[in-house]
Structure 1
């Protein structure tokens, strides 16, 4: 029986670290035979470059049944991509035959909580290789499995050539209009939660009235209403919600500086994308960043952040940059 290579996770929409990673993976890796999408959502677009089987249904249970059937078939590699340890519950229920299972949890700081027993059983009994994205994840996995089952791997894949060059005319006109009225264009992105520190980015714009901030949000969070309200009262902040990847990349490529002010992070896909687009990037040093990103402390006050932004924009010699940085993901290491 022919060996199958199965990737489990999802593609946009929704947009997030997992779905962006998988979309780029199937665009470039031709050996993937099956993509199992477990995130029901409107607006799914299968990349034209992907020629394998796309397993998806608006009813998640159907996708899970089809995944279980693939697992029963066995004779292949299964690459599971989730955000948190809670999702390991699925692996507890799935049958495993003659196949090799890889797991990557894309959230930077892992906490099993009440799922600790499940994580221990699944990782020790079913998972063959746990892919850890940083030293904290390595330490977390070591609670449950021996080091020989842990492999350090990146969760970053660069955008496709030409990404961010096409956008709706309305968005192009908006950016052109703002560019004609303001100096530097900044971008921040992520969920509207305290971890992403969008409120700090908005505070920064009170000090930089000649510059403009695009705050690009996806998902729900407790700060959503506050961010919307503050932005509505400021002339130099605009909030975008639920942008497509192409729209966000166009905004990012059109900007002068990407701000990643997270208190916690696993990588920050947009950090690597900004660097690859030739856009300056200022990110907190809470994790290893893509080579070329400027680094700041996560707990700095707004006035210190303002000074750091100035230094990055004028490329001051005192700016600390990520020199080694994360490597790009290689699927061939799983083969």
Structure 2
């Protein structure tokens, strides 16, 4: 059995990209021949990761894998037209190559609800897929409302617990750890969806109770004028530890050294970082904008005082004992079942990459 994953691949280390990377590592670890068509920004070279430089190049490479009978698994957000055009292009029905797609974004239900044409596009784009993986029940409900058969949809968090392995802790992290008690951790992105200003307001309240607190932020945009302006307006600039963009294993190393991980998002699918924190035994505080794993300290979205209260509670009570899911074995079983369902005369051919 040979599996082609299509999706973003780090860097940058977004949720979809990290899941594709971890699933790829899991499949290779199980001895499968697995490759990735990287449709993201094209990071540094990695074994069996093929960057896509153009639409024509994507089509040619995909055609080679399809003709050779590879099982194809697409990973995309589903919250914009480009995402659905990718799904449609990669899902063109063919007899030799089973197709699976995972839809990741918590913004998907709102996007599809915005126009009937979007729902029609989604239903048509998914018609060529044997199975559709939704990372949350809300995404499944939105797809069913579009007319996608319920029995075709599998709800499965985009998370591979077996691949959560913290890397070495950097000197900058150790210095932040020594300066701050407690040390909170948050993944940052310039998008307002990530709840930066809400976190800053809550941090100001937390500092009233815990004056030695610090917030370690990592990710893109921490040197942008808007970030600096918000930190000054909230009077938390002196409480921040700006660690910039980290490799994923470095981010896990930081998370493992923190006293709590915060996810103050306004929208979410199934956050990999929330599950990573819980898997690492770190208390996690997250907004209630979607279903969160058991053991998460929840606060009402947009409520800075409640966020601050829950952080203080998490610091006192500590992490919950949780059992983290692993999508790897489930997807491996799914791939095997789809491959076995192909007609016996559909034999794999050699692929040209």
Q: TM-score range by the shorter chain?
A: 0.7 to 0.9
Distance in 2, Cα, partners of 1:91 & 1:307:
42
Preserved contact between residue 159 and residue 273 of structure 1 (Cα < 8 Å): no
Q: Which runs of 5+ in 1 are unaligned?
A: 47-52
Q: TM-score, with normalisation over the residues of structure 2?
A: 0.79
Aligned counterparts, 1:77-96, within 5 A: 77-85=71-79, 86=81, 87-94=83-90, 95-96=92-93
State the match for 2:94 in structure 1.
Answer: 97
Is residue 2:228 matched to residue 1:228? yes
Change in 2 beyond 3 A, CA 1:194/1:10: closer
How far apart are 1:78 and its partner, in Å?
Answer: 1.2
How far apart are 1:256 and its partner, in Å?
Answer: 0.6
Distance in 2, Cα, partners of 1:4 & 1:180:
47
Is residue 2:278 matched to residue 1:268? no
Preserved contact between residue 285 and residue 296 of structure 2 (Cα < 8 Å): yes
State the match for 1:137 in structure 2.
Answer: 139
Aligned counterparts, 1:16-31, within 5 A: 16-29=14-27, 30=30, 31=32
Preserved contact between residue 164 and residue 249 of structure 1 (Cα < 8 Å): yes
State the match for 1:56 in structure 2.
Answer: 51
Is residue 2:41 matched to residue 1:40? yes
Preserved contact between residue 202 and residue 237 of structure 1 (Cα < 8 Å): no
State the match for 1:10 in structure 2.
Answer: 8
Aligned-residue RMSD, C-alpha: 2.8
State the match for 2:345 in structure 1.
Answer: none
Q: Which runs of 5+ in 2 are unaligned?
A: 336-353
Distance in 2, Cα, partners of 1:149 & 1:33:
24
Q: Alignment length, in residue pairs?
A: 313
Preserved contact between residue 283 and residue 294 of structure 1 (Cα < 8 Å): yes
> Larger % of helix: which?
2
Q: TM-score, with normalisation over the residues of structure 1?
A: 0.83
Preserved contact between residue 186 and residue 263 of structure 2 (Cα < 8 Å): yes
By relative contact order (CA 8 Å, sep 6+), the higher-ranking structure is 2
Change in 2 beyond 3 A, CA 1:70/1:181: closer
Change in 2 beyond 3 A, CA 1:315/1:133: same
Aligned counterparts, 1:155-304, within 5 A: 155-158=158-161, 160=163, 163-167=165-169, 171-172=170-171, 174-207=172-205, 208=207, 209-218=211-220, 224-231=224-231, 234-300=237-303, 302-304=304-306
How far apart are 1:25 and its partner, in Å?
Answer: 0.8
How far apart are 1:57 and its partner, in Å?
Answer: 4.2
How far apart are 1:159 and its partner, in Å?
Answer: 5.7
Change in 2 beyond 3 A, CA 1:88/1:32: farther
Change in 2 beyond 3 A, CA 1:43/1:35: closer
Change in 2 beyond 3 A, CA 1:7/1:101: same
How far apart are 1:58 and its partner, in Å?
Answer: 4.4
How far apart are 1:5 and its partner, in Å?
Answer: 2.0
Preserved contact between residue 87 and residue 126 of structure 2 (Cα < 8 Å): no
CA deviation map 1:228-252 (0-9, x unaligned): 3344672111334332112211211
Preserved contact between residue 10 and residue 43 of structure 2 (Cα < 8 Å): no
- Secondary structure in 2 matching 1:33: strand
CA deviation map 1:96-146 (0-9, x unaligned): 32122111111023123453332121223x122111122211111111312
Is residue 2:174 matched to residue 1:146? no
Distance in 2, Cα, partners of 1:176 & 1:332:
38
